[in-house]
Amino acid sequence: MKVAVLGFGTVGVGVYEMLGQAEGLEQGTVLVRAGKNDAAFKRTSIEDIISDPEIWAVAEVMGGIEPAFSYASAVLKAGKHFVTSNKALVAEKGLELSKLAYENNAGFMFSAACGGAVPILHNLSLAVESDKILSISGILNGTTNYILDSMQRLGLDYEEALKDAQRLGYAEADPAADVSGMDALRKIMLACAVAYNMLPTEGLLNEGIENITAEDVKHFMVRGYTCRLMVRGGRTDESVYAYVEPVLFRAGAPECSVMQNNNMACYEGENSGRISIIGQGAGRYPTASAVLRDLSGILSGRKYMLRENCRAVKAENDKFKQLYYVRLPEAMASLIPAESVDVENKTARLITKPLSVQEMHSKAAEIRKNGGKIFFAEIGG
């Protein structure tokens, strides 16, 4: 099967190289920006790929919504298989692309959009055929894991850890999508769609790590906690819950052993129990290997990750209650119901009474609206 590649950046180069070595797959043309077509296999027009009868599949590794969505739509309408590593594209346009794929008998796969080489979406798509998925969780952003790990094991402050991550290529020059939790949120959206046949597009909540300080880290490490940015997803009666937030784990929890920029994806099956997978969540070859896994899956007859009747839903993040660790100004401490409060230098650190995710995120938003600086993390995992 000859495969065209859209994009020739870090991952695109990896996909193209690996196509030359993969059994049953063959290098096709590569779409590049105008002025970058400096080799015979490079093209600057998507029409050259759409009209080529030798191209059976297209791998998109450009990123962004447009022109990726327009290209993907054209590819699928032409009856060619479409594989992507673009989580933003699938989170926003996945249902539309899935519909086009079924209408045109073309494959649509995207396991590389979540976890890089960690095959969480691939495994979920197989598991749902014989098991009921009870919950999904994990560390699905290597940038934030590297920052938190560096703050905790190396004693760096947030800015130092971020600069170190950027120097090593683990963080972008603009790290907003990673540190805000948005990147991880898109991944749990996709995982819910695969596991529960429902893509949450509203009601989603994400709290990142931008507000953590070195003093916070010292405070909870003295108490035996390690902080990780976690995704959570699962079924409710009519919908799903799906959110991202920092979580404090006691020593010995598996999440504490996930260091540097590694990912850890977990799901619990009714029959299988808890399954955990640890590995590289990004990078040229880890991500490219996931793209080729999808292409090989299409070769063997597995063409879809989303079922034909997958639908958009509003996430319900008010169904379960848990305790939170919160740091905020002393003057605002009364705004959050607490089981215990410690105050020092006009800063309050408290353990909340049981709150739903919706309640905690809403209270944090109210405090920030009124000028207060707050950090919070779920306790206990």
77 is catalytic: no
How far is 353 from 270, CA to CA, in rounded Å?
30
Please say whether the beta carbons of 8 and 36 come within 8 A. Answer: yes
> What is the C-alpha separation between 318 and 323, in angstroms, rounded?
14
- β-pairing, 198-202 vs 311-314, is parallel
CA pseudo-torsion sign 247, 250, 253, 259? positive
Cα–Cα distance measured from residue 191 to residue 176, given in angstroms and rounded to the nearest whole number: 22
CA-wise closest residue to 165 among 180, 150, 182, 185: 150
Cα separation, 206 vs 358, whole angstroms: 10
245/257 Cα distance (integer angstroms) = 18
HSE of 204, CA atoms in CB hemisphere, 13 A: 24
Contact by Cβ (8 Å): 335, 362: no
Cis previous bond, 200, omega within 30: no
For 50, the token pair is: 């759409």
Q: How far apart are CA 292 and CA 288, in angstroms?
A: 6
Q: Are 25 and 295 in contact (CB under 8 A)?
A: yes
Helix segments in 244-341, DSSP class H: 284-299
Q: What does the alpha-carbon distance between residue 95 and residue 90 come to, in Å, rounded to a whole number?
A: 8
Report DSSP letters for 94-158, one per residue: HHHHHHHHHHTT--EE-GGGSSTTS-HHHHHHHHTTTS-EEEEEEE--HHHHHHHHHHHHS---H
Catalytic residue among 80, 93, 187, 363: 187
The residues assigned a catalytic role are 187
